[in-house]
């Protein structure tokens, strides 16, 4: 090793990602990699460095955070720096979750895919380029040609595969159709996709059974990828949903991440220990399974998810057609108010626990609960939902109180829970859930520093080595010699966020430096490239 390094970070507390105790020491960076890690007091070789940074009293150096669950498929297009992630210390993220990915595209079903993605993946005027992403390789090449600073990996959405092959049809795929989906998936894996995702509460994923998922996951297993699932239920039927997810993984041999694990509905909290036990028992049998979680008891998804699935089989256009019919609208409202056979958030949670995050027609409603809006309009919450969807062409984002905070805390402390922000709409011009810009800094502010649910070392492990080692991200997730110099330095007394639903885009606090492959890209909370 040459005596000179590109960057020397001296006399700083280090959480190396493993979960082992914090130690004080020095880190050298050379050619994008960690050249050495020395504990204070160890005998060291005299080195010269092009740049030297000295740690301060409350600083903590750790690996760059890994966001296992985003919807940033087009973020590189909108912002090659992906500020929403970088500024909170994330240096690698995974998009294409919940069955929703930007590719592969079937040109004849492009409009269906566009509607399917519109409320989750932000885009401006990209249609002509998007239509060329008939293969996953085309999509990845379009991202690569923009020379992105930020690092990411992508999953293939099972809903996107289904749309490409059979649109929104509510039926089992024929043998030739499942083979077409497998061919598209195989092409994606060979191009560099990390695995497959599903959204089994969304159309068309809700039409898919376990056999279909097992067949697709067998392809993922061939490439040592992983399967990430937004399960069929996160409330009354969550135990059955976890069992199904594990069954798919066990039958296919595929690694599994249970996405944004939570127990929705206040009356369902008792299921928490049972589902965590199911995961532990599966791991003891040799099933490779973890979960991820965002650090909020409020989830976010499209307002259309409040409607029964049978009215969504024809996409957004078909849904709006149903609402326009006065008779059908009455049926929809009645079901929203009384039908518990589907994941009916309005019935389970109530209008006071549903917040309108973003809609274009009535921006004054953004940040208000559905109950507050209904009082203003003097109509029922269910009718308000229908009207908002109709007047916004179906494109409305909501946030909902998914579960009790103590259940979020219980899952957070689970040793096999990684961290995913689920940053819906991040990078676009619309408002979004504040977790998109601040999930990781909020984690360390509230869950680690203020409430001390876990140690600093364990908080770092959840965001770094746990996902990196599970997924197989080589040279990431640890502060070790030879690993990529993806590094975050933050002030433990200041890290946090002031973002709210009314002001979701306020910048994170306390992030002092972010390095990606040895290049300092954030300094004192600001982009420096």
Q: Is the pTM of this model over 0.85?
A: yes
Same domain, 327 and 435: no
**Interatomic CA distance for residues 50 and 446, integer angstroms:** 37
**Interatomic CA distance for residues 235 and 80, integer angstroms:** 37
Whether residue 255 contacts residue 416, with contact meaning beta carbons closer than 8 Å, is answered with no
112 lies in a domain? yes
Whether residue 463 contacts residue 419, with contact meaning beta carbons closer than 8 Å, is answered with yes
**Interatomic CA distance for residues 174 and 181, integer angstroms:** 11
Phi, psi of 410 (to 5 degrees): -60, -45
Say which CATH number the domain at 204 has.
3.20.20.140
Same domain, 233 and 323: no
**3-class DSSP assignment, residue 52:** strand
Sheet holding 90-95, edge to edge: 65-67, 90-95, 151-157, 195-199, 226-230, 255-258, 289-293, 417-419
Q: Which two tokens stand for residue 294?
A: 């965002």
In what helix (H) or strand (E) does residue 179 lie, and over which residues does it extend? helix 175-191
Same domain, 235 and 126: yes
**Interatomic CA distance for residues 470 and 463, integer angstroms:** 12
Q: What is the pLDDT, as a whole number, of residue 60?
A: 98
Per-residue pLDDT of the chain (529 residues; tens, 9 = 90+): 457 899 999 999 999 999 999 999 999 999 999 999 999 987 666 678 999 999 999 999 999 999 999 998 888 877 878 888 999 999 999 999 999 999 999 999 998 898 888 767 766 557 788 999 999 999 999 999 988 889 999 999 999 999 999 999 999 999 999 999 999 999 999 999 999 999 999 999 999 999 999 999 999 999 999 999 999 999 899 999 999 999 999 999 999 999 999 998 878 999 999 999 999 999 999 999 999 999 999 878 889 989 998 898 787 888 999 999 999 999 999 999 999 888 888 988 899 999 998 888 999 999 899 999 999 999 999 999 999 999 999 989 898 888 899 999 999 999 999 999 987 766 555 677 888 889 999 999 999 999 999 999 999 999 999 999 999 999 999 999 999 999 999 999 999 999 887 788 889 999 999 999 999 999 999 999 8
178 lies in a domain? yes
**Total domain count for the chain?**
2
**Interatomic CA distance for residues 415 and 412, integer angstroms:** 8
Say whether the peptide bond before residue 438 is cis (omega within 30 degrees of 0): no
Same domain, 222 and 366: no
Compute CA 32 distance to the chain's CA centroid, rounded to the nearest angstrom. 27
Domain end call among 401, 417, 437: 401
Same domain, 226 and 318: no
Whether residue 195 contacts residue 225, with contact meaning beta carbons closer than 8 Å, is answered with yes
Same domain, 440 and 364: no
Say whether the peptide bond before residue 104 is cis (omega within 30 degrees of 0): yes
232 lies in a domain? yes
| Angle between helix 315-324 and 381-391 (nearest 10) | 120
Same domain, 332 and 396: yes
3-state secondary structure 268-306: HHHHHHHHHHHHHHHHHCCCCEEEEECCCCEEEEEHHHH
Same domain, 110 and 246: yes
292 lies in a domain? no
In what helix (H) or strand (E) does residue 255 lie, and over which residues does it extend? strand 255-258
Phi, psi of 79 (to 5 degrees): -155, 100
169 lies in a domain? yes
324 lies in a domain? yes
117 lies in a domain? yes
Compute CA 117 distance to the chain's CA centroid, rounded to the nearest angstrom. 15
Whether residue 512 contacts residue 71, with contact meaning beta carbons closer than 8 Å, is answered with no
Cα distance from N-terminal residue to C-terminal residue, the chain: 28
**3-class DSSP assignment, residue 465:** helix
Distances (CA, A) of 113 to 133, 197, 221: 12, 16, 26
Phi, psi of 379 (to 5 degrees): -135, 170
Same domain, 217 and 107: yes
136 lies in a domain? yes
Same domain, 217 and 329: no
Compute CA 98 distance to the chain's CA centroid, rounded to the nearest angstrom. 9
Q: Which two tokens stand for residue 379?
A: 């109509």
Q: What is the domain range of residue 315?
A: 301-401
Q: What is the pLDDT, as a whole number, of residue 81?
A: 84
Indicate the DSSP class of residue 512. E
Same domain, 436 and 350: no
Say which CATH number the domain at 382 has.
3.30.1490.130
10 beta partners: 54
Same domain, 311 and 231: no
């Amino acid at each position: 090793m040459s005596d000179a390094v590109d960057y020397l970070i001296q006399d700083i507390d280090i959480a190396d990602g493993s979960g082992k105790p914090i130690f004080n020491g020095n880190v050298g960076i050379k050619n994008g990699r960690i050249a050495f890690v020395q504990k204070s007091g160890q005998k060291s070789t005299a080195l010269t460095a092009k740049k030297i940074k000295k740690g301060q009293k409350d600083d903590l150096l750790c690996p760059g955070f890994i966001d296992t669950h985003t919807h940033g498929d087009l973020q590189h297009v909108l912002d090659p720096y992906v500020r929403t992630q970088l500024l909170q210390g994330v240096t690698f993220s995974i998009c294409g979750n919940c069955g929703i990915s930007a590719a592969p595209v079937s040109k004849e079903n492009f409009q269906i895919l566009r509607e399917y993605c519109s409320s989750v993946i932000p885009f401006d005027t990209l249609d002509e380029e998007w239509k060329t992403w008939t293969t996953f390789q085309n999509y990845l090449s379009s991202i690569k040609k923009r020379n992105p600073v930020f690092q990411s990996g992508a999953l293939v959405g099972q809903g996107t595969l289904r749309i490409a092959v059979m649109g929104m049809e509510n039926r089992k795929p024929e043998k030739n159709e499942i083979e077409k989906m497998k061919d598209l998936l195989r092409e994606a894996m060979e191009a560099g996709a990390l695995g497959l995702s599903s959204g089994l509460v969304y159309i068309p994923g809700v039409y898919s059974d376990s056999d279909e998922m097992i067949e697709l996951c067998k392809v993922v297993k061939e490439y040592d990828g992983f399967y990430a699932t937004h399960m069929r239920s996160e409330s009354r039927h969550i135990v059955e949903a976890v069992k199904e997810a594990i069954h798919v993984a066990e039958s296919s041999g595929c690694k599994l991440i249970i996405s944004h694990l939570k127990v929705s509905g206040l009356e369902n909290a008792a299921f928490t220990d049972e589902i965590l036990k199911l995961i532990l028992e599966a791991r003891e049998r040799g099933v490779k399974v973890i979960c991820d979680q965002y650090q909020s008891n409020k989830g976010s998804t499209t307002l259309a998810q409040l409607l029964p699935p049978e009215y969504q089989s024809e996409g957004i256009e078909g849904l709006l057609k149903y609402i326009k019919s006065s008779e059908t609208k009455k049926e929809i409202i009645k079901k929203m108010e009384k039908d518990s056979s589907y994941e009916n958030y309005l019935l389970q949670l109530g209008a006071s626990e549903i917040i309108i995050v973003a809609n274009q027609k009535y921006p004054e409603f953004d940040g208000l609960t559905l109950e507050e809006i209904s009082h203003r309009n003097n109509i029922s919450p269910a009718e308000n939902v229908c009207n908002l969807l109709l007047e916004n062409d179906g494109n409305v984002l909501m946030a909902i109180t998914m579960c009790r905070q103590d259940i979020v805390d219980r899952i957070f402390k689970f040793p096999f829970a990684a961290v995913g922000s689920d940053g819906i709409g991040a990078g676009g011009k619309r408002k979004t859930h504040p977790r998109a810009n601040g999930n990781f800094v909020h984690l360390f502010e509230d869950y680690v520093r203020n409430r001390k649910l876990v140690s600093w070392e364990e908080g770092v492990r959840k965001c770094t080595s746990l996902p990196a080692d599970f997924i197989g991200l080589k040279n990431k997730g640890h502060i070790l010699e030879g690993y990529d110099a993806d590094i975050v330095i933050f002030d433990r007394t200041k890290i946090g966020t002031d973002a709210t639903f009314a002001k979701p885009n306020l910048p994170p606090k306390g992030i002092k430096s972010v390095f990606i492959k040895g290049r300092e890209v954030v300094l004192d909370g600001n982009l420096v490239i």
